[in-house]
Amino acid sequence: MFSSLLDTSFSLNDLWFMLKGAGVTLALTFWAVIGGTLLGVVFGVVRAVSPWWINAPLGAVLDVFRSVPLLIQLVVANSFKTIVGINWPPFTVGCVVLALYMSAYCTEIVRSGFLAVPTTTRRAARSLGMSYWQDLSFIVFPIALRVALPSWIGLTLGVMKDTAMVWWIGIVELLRSSQVIVTRIQEPLFVLSIAGLIYFLMSFPIARLGARLEKRWRENE
Amino acid sequence: MHYTFHWLPAFRALPDMLWGALVTLEIALLSMLLGVFFAVVLAVASNSPYRALRGAAASWVELARNTPALFQIYMAYFGLGSLGIHLDSFVALLAGITFNNAGYLAETFRGGLRAVPATQMRAARSLGMGQVQAFRLVVMPQMFRIVFYPLTNQMVWAILMTSLGVVVGLNSDLTGVTQELNVRSFRTFEYFALAAVIYYLLAKLVTVSARLMAWRLFRY
């Protein structure tokens, strides 16, 4: 078994192919995080400040994205796209579904960050003569950011790992590219280990950074 | 839009899909039970005086948390296969999800254990309880309260993760059954939309029953 690791038919070209797959993974993550965060911030603030008859339906709709497997969401979205006749490439479909998926989780993070700011702090800001928007941008935003950022980093990494599922709608990203190579050279353990290593290298440093931020900000409390 | 929806075949397949949902629930429950067991082992190992044990626990946790669940299932199915360990797709899926659950829950338990003040243990011991007794009767119930909500969250994730079994050829769970029906008829949207509804209901079933359980357990 170990001899097969030494005289492998895995070539530099294969590694390049996998790194290109990793590039696709990062590109998907990038667009999903941009879209998901923008939507999540809007929805999160709306959920935190709106009356129940806006809050409850919005929450229920977003909850669907958290209660249905991403794989199923991708398949349903992809076939729905064909039905209504939108001519998007799979990559766009993947980005849109991942962004909506991320926005559902991001909404909850933003909302809990927003609600973590004590009402008394906000009242104090207002009675010092700040306007509503000044209160939001100089008081609520900095405090909520500290609460939300560590979870947001965790969510971003989660979405990066979940991009592995888009191969189902025909996108060759990191994990799929490793599968393609496995089909050719028949060394699943070795090739998958390399894929795993690349994922680990993309995720671990950022995860550590998040943990450190969380720790440091907690000390100030 | 030149598409006629055909919902009837999908509704006819509903009994089959519900049986699949039962398998999904079964895998998720098993993976949670095994996951909790390994997570407790990992949480204890990461506090152990032996460096090798701490290292092993840390690498399990970091690997589980920093690679995709799909990768872990592939590893259990194809990776172990090339070492001569051939798992069938059900076991490979279960192993993959269990590995993932244990990694995430180990962190949860570690946090939960740290949240119970050490004085609780000392107070219990000075009332004459043994180490095990104090842990079981005083520390555990308090820890359980703290980890209960993350535990139900992980259960929902476990259900969502079971959908990945289809990539290693599992055809008995909800996604597997749906995919089999799909390749026979190519009514992709109808079948998978129905599967999505069933998954949603399963997830709601878990959260609602967890809420009921919490109400019964943590009432005092």
Residues of A in contact with B68 (CB under 8 A): 161-164, 175, 199
- Helix (H) / strand (E) element for A151: namely helix A141-162
In this structure, is residue B1 part of a structural domain? Answer: no
Cα(A215)–Cα(A219) distance, integer angstroms: 6
Q: Smallest Cβ distance to A188: which of B63, B78, B195?
A: B78
Burial (Cβ within 10 Å: 0-12, 13-18, ≥19) of residue B200? middle
In this structure, is residue B89 part of a structural domain? Answer: yes
Q: Which of B2-11, B160-169, B202-211 has the lowest mean pLDDT?
A: B2-11
Say how many residues make up chain A: 221
In this structure, is residue B144 part of a structural domain? Answer: yes
pLDDT at A1: 47
Question: Could you give the ipTM of this predicted complex?
Answer: 0.87
CA dihedral angle for residue A79, residue A84, residue A87, residue A89, rounded to 10 degrees: -20
In this structure, is residue B114 part of a structural domain? Answer: yes
Full residue range of the structural domain in which residue B19 is found = 7-214
Q: Do A83 and B163 make contact, defined as CB atoms within 8 angstroms?
A: no
In this structure, is residue B2 part of a structural domain? Answer: no
Q: Smallest Cβ distance to A207: which of B66, B163, B195?
A: B66
* Tens of pLDDT, residue by residue, chain A (221 residues): 454 555 677 888 889 999 999 999 999 999 999 999 999 999 999 999 999 999 999 999 999 999 999 999 999 999 999 888 888 999 999 999 999 999 999 999 999 999 999 999 999 999 999 999 999 999 999 999 988 998 999 999 999 999 999 988 889 999 999 989 988 888 888 899 999 999 999 999 888 888 888 888 776 65
> Which segments of B14-50 does DSSP mark as H helices, in order?
14-45
Percent of chain B with pLDDT over 70: 99
Q: Smallest Cβ distance to B67: which of A84, A161, A165?
A: A161
What CATH number is attached to the domain comprising B76?
1.10.3720.10
- The residue among A9, A28, A76 with the most chain B CBs within 10 A of its CB, best to mutate, is A76
In this structure, is residue B156 part of a structural domain? Answer: yes
Q: Does domain A12-219 correspond to CATH entry 3.30.420.40?
A: no
pLDDT at A220: 60
In this structure, is residue B220 part of a structural domain? Answer: no
Number of structural domains in chain B = 1
pLDDT at A6: 59
Q: Are A153 and A213 in contact (CB under 8 A)?
A: yes
Burial (Cβ within 10 Å: 0-12, 13-18, ≥19) of residue A16? exposed
Q: Do A72 and B163 make contact, defined as CB atoms within 8 angstroms?
A: yes
Q: Do A73 and B196 make contact, defined as CB atoms within 8 angstroms?
A: yes
User: DSSP letter at A206?
Assistant: H
In this structure, is residue B170 part of a structural domain? Answer: yes
Cα(A198)–Cα(B83) distance, integer angstroms: 22
Residues of A in contact with B153 (CB under 8 A): none
- Enter the tokens of residue B180: 């089999």
Tokens 């339906």 locate to: A57
φ, ψ (nearest 5 deg) of residue A186: 55, 40
